[in-house]
Structure 1
Amino acid sequence: MHKLKNYINDNFYILFLSMFIPLFAIATVVFMIKLATYTAVIQLNILDMTKLFLFVLPEILFYTLPITFFTAATLTLFRLSTDNEMVVLFSLGIHPKFILKILLKPAITLSLLLAFNFLVLIPHAKTLSSNFISYKKSEAKFNLSASEFGHSFGSWLLYIGADNQDETYSDVILFNKNIEEEIIISANRAEIINNAGILRLKLIDGEGYSYSKEKFSQISFDTMFINDTMTTDLSVYKTPLEYWLSDERKDKKKHKMITNTLLSIFPILSLYLVASIGIAHVRHQKARLYLYLFIDIVIYYGTTLWLQKALGYYTIPAVSLTWLIVTYAIYKKTILARF
C-alpha cells in the first residue's frame, strides 16, 4: 500500500507541476499587462515593476493553485485508467475510497495554504501595493523643472530658476498669499525629500519675507523645510483581523471573503468529482475529460458569484453542502456502483 501511495503521489506531483507552470505563466502575463497600465500615470523602472509583481504574487498563486490541483488530480486518475492500472488496482481489491484518501492529504494542505494566503498574505500585499502606487503618484506630482511658469506646490506658488544634475534646483522662489499675510521665500538651492510618504521641500541658503498690515518680517536661513505640503494617502492596518473587520470597502471585502473561502476549500470539495471524472473505463466510455473539467469549474465559480447577493455569508455553507451532496451522488452512481 505504501508503494502504491507513493506511485500515485509521484504521478500527481509531476502533473501538478506541469499544469501549474503554464497556468502561472499565463496569469503572470495578464497581471503584468495590468501593471503596465500604471506607467500611463507614474514612472516605473524594472525594480518598481518587480516590486509590484511580488505584491500581486499571492493573488496569482491563489487563483491558479485550486484549478491546478483539480485538473492535475483528475488527469492523474485518468492516466492510470487509460493505462489500465486502475482496473488492476480494483481487481486486487483496492477500494476507490483508498484513492481518495491519498489525494485528501495534499487537498487539505493546499486548502490550508490558500486560506492563509487570502486571509493574511493578500491583505498585506494589497496594502503594500496600494501604498506603493500612492507613493509613486505623489512623487509624480513633484515632477518639477525649470520654466518660465510657476508650479503649484500645495498652497505655495513655486518658481525654479534652473535644474541641477544632482536632482536639486537652483534659484528657487516660493510665494504664499492668504487673508492675513503674504510670504515670499527665496533660496539658492532646493531639493525634494520623500520621508515615509511625507513630501517636503528642503531649501538651502536663502531668505524669507512676510508682510501683513501690522508688520514686515525678514529672516535668513541656512536650511529650511516646508513640511506636510503634500502627504501620500497611505493605508495602515495592524493585523489581518483588523483589515477584514474594518468598514473601509466593506462590501468588496464581504464579496472577497465569501468567494475566497469557497475557492480555498475547493480542492477538498472536488475530490468526489475528481474520482468521478478521472476514473474511467476507456473501452466503454468516451472521454470528454477537458470539457467536464471546464464545465465543473465554471459551475462552481458561477454558483459562488451568483448566490452571494441573495444569501450573503450563507453562500459558503449552501454551496459547500450542495456541491458535496451532488458530487457524492455522481461518485456513487459512476464509481461505487461499478467498482
Structure 2
Amino acid sequence: MKILQNYIKKSLSILFLSIFLPLFSIASIVFLIKMATYTAIIQLSLFEMSKLFFFMLPELLFYTLPISFFVAAALTLFKLSNDNEIIVLFALGIHPKFILKTLFTPALFLSILLLFNFFILFPHAKTLSSNFISYKKSEAKFNLSASEFGHKFGEWLLYIGEEKSDGTYSQVILFNKKQEEEVLIGAQKAEIINDSGILRLKLTSGEGYSYSEEKFTQIDFKTMYINDTMKTDLDKYQAPMDYWFPKEQSAKIEKKLITNILFSLFPLLSLFLIASIGIVHVRHQKGKIYLFLFLGITIYYALAISLQLVLFAYTIPVLVFGWLLATYIIYKRTIVAKF
C-alpha cells in the first residue's frame, strides 16, 4: 500500500509542477504589467521592481497553488484511469476511499500552507508593498530640475537656478502666499533629505522675507529646514491580528478574510469532487474532464465571493458543509456506486 501511495503522489507531484509553473508564470506576467503602470508615476530601478515583485509573491502563490493542486489531482486520477490502472486497483479490492486518503495528506498540507500564507505573510507583504509605493510616489514629487518654470513644493512655489551633479541645487527661491502675508526665501544651496519616509528640503546660506500690510520682516540664516511639506502616508502594522482584526471595523478586510479562508480550504474540501471528476471508466465514459474542472473552480470561487453579500461571516460554515455534502453525494453516485 505504501508503494502504491508513493506512486500516486509521485504522479501528482509531476503533474502539479507542470501545471503550477505555467500558471505561476502567467500570473507573474500579469503582475509585472501591473507594476509597469507604476512607472508612469514613479521611477523604478531593476532592483526596486524585483523588490516589489517579491512583496507580491505571497499573493501570487495564494491564487495559483490551490487551482494547480485541484487540476493536477484530477488529471492524475484521469491519467490512471486512461491507463486502466484505476480499474486494476478496484479489481484487487482497493476501495475508492484509499485514493482519497492518499490525496488527503498533500491537500491538508497545502491548505495549512495557504492559511499561513494569507494570515501571516500576506499582511506583512501587502503593507510593505503599499508603503514602498507610497514612498516612491512621495519621492517622485521631489523630482526637481532647473528650469524657467517653477515647481510645486507643498504650499510653496519653488524655483531652481542650477542643478549640480551631486544631487544638490543652487540659487533656490521659494515663495508662499498666505491670506495675510507673503513669504519669500532665497538660498545659495538646497538639498533633499529623506528622514523615515518624510522628505525635507535643507536650505543653506540664504535670506528670508515676510511682508504684509502691517510689517516687513527679514532674516538671514545659515541652515533652514522646510519640514513635513509632503509626508508619506505609511500604513502601520504590528501583527497579523492587528491587520485582520483592526480596532475600527473594515468591511473590505472582513470580506477578504472570509474569502481567503475559503480559498485556502478549497484543496481539502474538493477531494470528493476531484475523485468524481478524475476517476472514469474509459470504455464507457468519454469524461469531459476539462469542462468539469472549469465548472468546479468557477462555482466554488463564485459562491465564496457572492454568498458574503447575504450571509457575511456565516458564509464559511455554510459553504464548507454545503460543498462537502454536495460533492460527497456526487462522489457516492458516480464513483462508489460504480466501483
TM-score range, shorter chain: over 0.9
Correspondence 1:71 to 2:71 = yes
Q: Which residue of 2 aligns with 1:10?
A: 10
Shift of residue 176, structure 1, vs aligned partner:
3.2
Q: Deviations along 1:202-254, whole A, 9 cap, x unmatched?
A: 12233334456467342231x33222121001111211111112266812112
- 1:143-222 to 2 correspondence within 5 Å? 143-178=143-178, 182-211=182-211, 213=214, 216-221=217-222
Secondary structure at the counterpart of residue 295 of structure 1: helix
Q: Unaligned stretches of 5+ in structure 1?
A: none
Amino acid at match of 1:15: L
Q: Deviations along 1:143-185, whole A, 9 cap, x unmatched?
A: 2111223222222222211111222111112233445654433
Q: Which residue of 2 aligns with 1:256?
A: 256
Q: Deviations along 1:58-117, whole A, 9 cap, x unmatched?
A: 111111111100011111111111111111111222111111111111111110111111
- Aligned residues: CA RMSD: 1.8
The CA distance in 2 between the partners of 1:28 and 1:277, in whole Å, is: 29
- 1:167-316 to 2 correspondence within 5 Å? 167-178=167-178, 182-211=182-211, 213=214, 216-221=217-222, 223-246=223-246, 250-316=250-316
Correspondence 1:123 to 2:123 = yes
Q: Which residue of 2 aligns with 1:91?
A: 91
Q: Deviations along 1:249-298, whole A, 9 cap, x unmatched?
A: 81211221121111100001000111111111111111211111001111
Q: Unaligned stretches of 5+ in structure 2?
A: none
- Kept in 2, the 8 Å contact 1:209–1:219? The answer is no
Shift of residue 23, structure 1, vs aligned partner:
0.5
In structure 2, relative to structure 1, the CA distance for the partners of 1:249 and 1:22 (3 Å cut) is farther
- Kept in 2, the 8 Å contact 1:200–1:229? The answer is yes
Paired residues, number: 338
Secondary structure at the counterpart of residue 51 of structure 1: helix
The CA distance in 2 between the partners of 1:256 and 1:43, in whole Å, is: 30
Q: Which residue of 2 aligns with 1:41?
A: 41
Shift of residue 322, structure 1, vs aligned partner:
0.9
User: Which piece of structure 1 moves more, 175-184 or 238-247?
Assistant: 175-184
- Kept in 2, the 8 Å contact 1:96–1:336? The answer is yes
Shift of residue 329, structure 1, vs aligned partner:
0.7
- Kept in 1, the 8 Å contact 2:207–2:218? The answer is no
The CA distance in 1 between the partners of 2:152 and 2:85, in whole Å, is: 75
Amino acid at match of 2:84: N
User: Which piece of structure 1 moves more, 243-252 or 157-166?
Assistant: 243-252
TM value normalised by structure 2: 0.94
TM value normalised by structure 1: 0.94
